[in-house]
A and B are shown apart, each in its own frame.
Chain A
Amino acid sequence: MGFKVLGKRLLMACVVIFCVSVLTFLATRILPTDPAALYAGPRASTAKIEEARLRLGLDKPLVLQYAQFAGKALTGDFGVSYRTRQPISKDIKKFLPATLELVFIAMLMAVVVGIPLGVLAASKPKGCLDQISRLGAIGMASFPVFWIAMIFQLVFFSWLNWLPLSGQFSRETMLFNPITVVTGFNSIDAILSGNWAALSDVARHLVLPALTLSLYPIALAMRMTRSAMGEVMQEHYITTATAMGLSRREILFRFALKNALPQTITVLGLTFAFSLTGAVLVEVIFAWPGIGSYVTAAILAVDFPVIMAVTLVGTVIYVLVNLLVDLAQASLDPRVALS
């Protein structure tokens, strides 16, 4: 993909982000609730509500309000949340890494577990492994995530007591061995500060939520790889490679997989962006202070600035991930670069 194409894509991305920002802004202004009343809180007097209206600039024309909002958003200032009364950028900085940590692990699992299983399943179509993996994938993709989460808690905490119930770390770590915040990612911060006891505690807390969240991507990666591989394995060049006496392993992973990967990567890219705000069920059940819980609470409290900010941040990440996916496609498949 040449620079010209890349520039075009970036421009498109900016247009998408602009449109989303206008839409979210308008949506929050059309709804029949008064943001000033929300900001002033319940049992506020009329005078207090009017004061809030002035403070929030809600008395100004809509275009001016949007310009102000957009101008500040560009500098990373999304204003103050009505609900938490904290600067939204500060909230997002705190909650986003917690979710990213889970989503990264889930994606890693999809790549490390899902793709190889898909390849193996495709190596012997209708074979034993193919059937089992198909059944497993259907199960993983169709069981509701909240149900699986609670079953995991029941088995691994209540019955076996192997893993912690919820949260990011234990009370002891929090009180007596706190992790120095560097990146906001607990596991990385624990490594950076050499806090090994905290790292193992963090890892133990990560297992259940990350596993729960990874089931769907694993299933997806497995099935996508399996079906793409199924097509590729019918190609003549595979037959040729087999005839030339190349090992089965080399054919599967070196020649077939390379052509099957683009589809899987596209789907995983979409899943990644979706999981960011879609992880809310997992976050609530495991009391994981992530961005999904944050935006859900904001939606329930009609906390407009937060809804707009998270939507925008989500859009940016979505667009970026898709751009990365396209770049990855191009590096995998020279034909993409030509278009």
Chain B
Amino acid sequence: MSINLRQLALAITAVCSLAVGPVAAADKNIFSATYGQGFIDIDPSSANSNEIALIANVYEPLVWYTPGEDGADATFSPALATSWEVSEDQLTWTFKLRDGVVFHDGTAFTSEAVKYSIQRTQTLDSGSAWIWWMVTDVETPDPLTAVFKLSDPAPLDLIASSAYAAWMMSPSIGDKDSAWFNEGNAIGTGPFKLRDYQPGVQAVLERNPDYWGGAPEGGIDIAVLESIEDSVLREQKLLGGQTDWAQNLETDNLAAIDAADGVRVNRAAAFQNFFGQFNTARPPLDNADVRRALSMAFPYDDFVNNIMGGTVTQARGIVPLGMPGHAADAVQYSYDTAAAKAALDAAGVAEGSLELTVTYTSGVPEAQKAAEVYKASLAEIGVTLNLEPMTWEAQWERAKADPAAAQDIFMMSWWPTYVVAYDFLSSLFHSSDEIAYNLAYYNNPDFDTMINDANGLLANDQAAAYAGFASAGKVLADDAPALFMYDTQNIVGINDSIKGYSFNPAYSGVVFLNKLSR
């Protein structure tokens, strides 16, 4: 019996020692990134969420958005287009294309591919395809020239740099639908090819040896982009060296992660914010004085530093800091209960008479925290706040139905499809007959004119357009149609051995793999 046991033990040890070194990694430079949410739709025409983490490495747009360093203005840098110009009437944009670029299947990249990509996206009309609404035709005078015909003037260089719906794909894809892509197919021109794809679980990318832009010294050969639901597990994998990059880490643990050996925390301003739109269609919130009073009743500093652990910054107006068109001289409300109380008195709101309802999406921790904090601080000035968490669909349905019966405060987060202040200003506060996202029901014709005028300048005079957005943003902040709470930061943990990582706020969640080395 004892001999048998010993033999058994030996056998087990033998099997286990086999297990220690499964198969040699064949000297490949492998990079792993861990996301909090799985990829769902990797069709470059319709993908509208964090799938761009994959798409931006497999496909390329005509133009990249490059944020300005140290306060400098952002620039648009050549991707598959090398130069571009706009006609006098702003209705014709001519893009010169990069020569010698081939898709992963060997198809040459030409103006036909541009025409195909735009038309496929327009026909599918899903996700963010609306960004091309003004494009009536793409002409192809020669293989390296694509001419966009517009029905209305628009900043097409900006639109072409969109994180969604602006990717160039091979005409050889033909009339295949989204399901074909989501079976794990991709034909782009990017520095990486899609090798394996399991929806919602992971994607494996491998270097495209024929990439026109080459590869950095010590570049990545294979990248695994996986999704891990549990934030503690993401952190453990990062600390244990099993992943090189992880996002959505627990706020409370960031200091410990930064202090740990071999990993660092990277923080950068993101073009995303969190706010609560006041119902301006109904008394007493139709009175700007009341809204300003309520804007002074949110403990910004305490929330930003203690509750969010310094992972966000207090907002100034609706356009986030760092985005062209941000109103740097707009009013920023500060927490002052005495002043808030006095302002409410002056506006004729008797103490204890005001009862408000806030709706927010359940399961979003920061919304929950913000609503609870606001409830407590409003109680101090005699205002009752009822919290109504619900699913996004229910929250939105109710808000769209009837402003007179809707919530008083609608909390949500916003980020632009392509980097333009107009996206925030117009989507959220432009008056309209059909309610979509202007859930403040804000109606200010002067403001509408200001932002439309500024938007009209974008194609020819960006500086003037940004100045116009900034002054409109200033008017908006003063009028307080929303409680501007905070701008988000992009916070990720990254292994120290990885060089070349930087965050581009226009492409949230994307790790540009071809810039990395180890």
Contacts and interface: CB of A to CB of B under 8 A. Distances in A.
A171 B199 contact: no
Contact of B393 (A38, A158, A173, A200): A38
Given A157-B240, A165-B242, A197-B18, A177 B178 contact: no
B507 to A, nearest CB: 18
Contact of A86 (B16, B32, B199): B199
Interface in A262-294: 284-287, 289, 293
B236 A153 contact: yes
Interface in B22-59: 22-26, 28, 30, 32, 38, 40-41, 48
B18 A196 contact: yes
A98 to B, nearest CB: 10
Nearest to A166: B233
A84 B182 CA distance: 10
A92 to B, nearest CB: 13
Nearest to A200: B19
A198 interface: yes
Contacts of B204: 174-175
B134 interface: no
Given A85-B178, A200-B16, A34 B393 contact: yes
Given A85-B178, A170-B22, A302 B393 contact: yes
B199 A165 contact: no
A176 B18 contact: no
B364 to A, nearest CB: 11
A300 B38 CA distance: 14
A46 interface: yes
A204 B20 CA distance: 10
Contacts of B397: 34, 37
B41 A284 contact: no
Given A86-B199, A157-B240, A176 B23 contact: yes
B230 A284 contact: yes
A288 B394 CA distance: 31
Contacts of B22: 170, 172-173, 177, 197-198, 200-201
A41 B48 contact: yes
B240 A158 contact: yes
A42 B23 CA distance: 44
B302 interface: no
Contacts of B18: 196-197, 200
Interface in B159-208: 178-179, 182, 198-201, 204
Interface in A30-59: 32-34, 37-38, 41-43, 45-46, 48
Contacts, number: 105
Contacts of B40: 83-85
B391 A302 contact: yes
Contacts of B229: 284, 287, 293, 297
Nearest to B28: A175
B200 A84 contact: yes
A105 interface: no
B38 to A, nearest CB: 8
A150 interface: yes
A316 interface: no
B387 interface: no
B1 interface: no
Interface string B355-397: 0000000010000000000000000000000000001111011
Nearest to A157: B240
Given A85-B182, A150-B232, A302-B393, A173 B201 contact: no
Interface in A1-42: 32-34, 37-38, 41-42
Interface residues of B, number: 47
Contact of B30 (A48, A175, A286, A287): A175
Contacts of A172: 22-23, 25
A171 B19 contact: no
Contacts of B434: 46
A165 B233 contact: yes
A83 B25 CA distance: 35
Contacts of A201: 19, 22
Contacts of B16: 200, 204
Contacts of A43: 48, 437
B72 interface: no
B263 interface: no
A203 interface: yes
B327 interface: no
A46 to B, nearest CB: 7
B230 A204 contact: no
A85 B199 contact: yes
A176 B25 contact: yes
Nearest to A293: B229
Contacts of A203: 19
Contacts of A285: 230, 233
B228 interface: yes
A32 B237 CA distance: 39
- Which of A45, A170, A200, A302 gathers the greatest number of chain B CB atoms within 10 Å? A200
Contacts of B242: 165, 171
Contacts of A45: 436
A174 B204 CA distance: 10
Given A85-B41, A86-B199, A171-B224, A176 B233 contact: no
A179 to B, nearest CB: 12
Contacts of A175: 25, 28, 30, 204, 222, 224
Contact of B363 (A174, A286, A300): A300
Given A34-B393, A84-B199, A86-B199, A197 B230 contact: no
Given A176-B23, A176-B26, A165 B393 contact: no
B15 interface: yes
A122 B162 CA distance: 71
A123 B218 CA distance: 66
Contacts of B394: 32-33
A284 B228 CA distance: 8
A37 to B, nearest CB: 5
Contacts of A83: 40
Contacts of B15: 200
A48 B242 CA distance: 42
B393 A166 contact: no
A172 B397 CA distance: 47
Interface in B300-333: none
Given A172-B25, A196-B18, A200-B15, 16 more contacts: A42-B392, A45-B436, A84-B200, A158-B240, A165-B237, A166-B228, A166-B237, A172-B22, A173-B23, A175-B25, A176-B25, A176-B26, A197-B18, A197-B19, A197-B22, A200-B18
14 contacts: A37-B396, A38-B393, A43-B437, A84-B38, A85-B41, A165-B233, A166-B233, A171-B30, A172-B22, A173-B22, A174-B224, A175-B28, A300-B363, A302-B391
5 nearest interchain CB pairs? A200-B19, A177-B23, A197-B22, A37-B393, A176-B23
